[in-house]
Amino acid sequence: MAVGQVSSISEDNWQLIQTNTTTSGTSSTFSGLSGYKAFMLACEFTSSSGYSSLKFNGSTTYYGGVLTYGTGGMSERNAIYLTSGSGTGVFGTLLITNVLSVAPKPVTGSNGANTAGGNINASWTGTDPITSIVIASPGFTSGEIRLYGIAA
């Protein structure tokens, strides 16, 4: 997969950290993520039913932003929502920056989980560096999530 240019960060800087294969009804965890200043998640699934979400360091607080799709949207509450419901050929790319800072960590990207696709503009305002990422995806069928990072 060619990562390409993401937010003026050259693909030469990205290194594959881990690939997780998922099955129906499972979540995907990436842990031990010290030493990176940015992350990129590339997700591909056969289909999704229900909501999927992203959480950092096991936290259920400090999330803000919105997932927009079609003619609707969802505000972030206790996680960053990646999909808003059912879809086929689910895919998406997320960029997570400012990972080591005490400042907010922006999360931007897009997904194709709905007929019209969606955009994610969110942040996590926790003050700790991001050391683990969990994608809770009870409705995902088989697929994979690749986590890339840029070393600090």
Query: Is 15 strand, coil or helix?
Result: strand
Residues whose CB is less than 8 angstroms from the CB of residue 121 and which lie 6 or more positions away in sequence, other chains included:
65, 66, 68, 107, 108
Return the CA Rg of the chain.
Answer: 14
At 53 the pLDDT is 76
- Contact criterion met (CB below 8 Å) for 56 and 133: yes
pTM greater than 0.75: yes
Residues whose CB is less than 8 angstroms from the CB of residue 80 and which lie 6 or more positions away in sequence, other chains included:
53, 54, 55, 63, 65, 67, 107, 120, 122, 124
Instruction: For the chain, 152 residues long, give each residue's pLDDT as a single digit of tens.
Output: 334 444 445 556 899 999 988 776 678 899 999 999 999 988 876 666 666 778 899 887 777 765 555 445 555 555 666 665 555 556 678 899 999 999 989 988 876 554 445 677 788 889 999 999 988 766 666 778 899 999 99
At 59 the pLDDT is 87
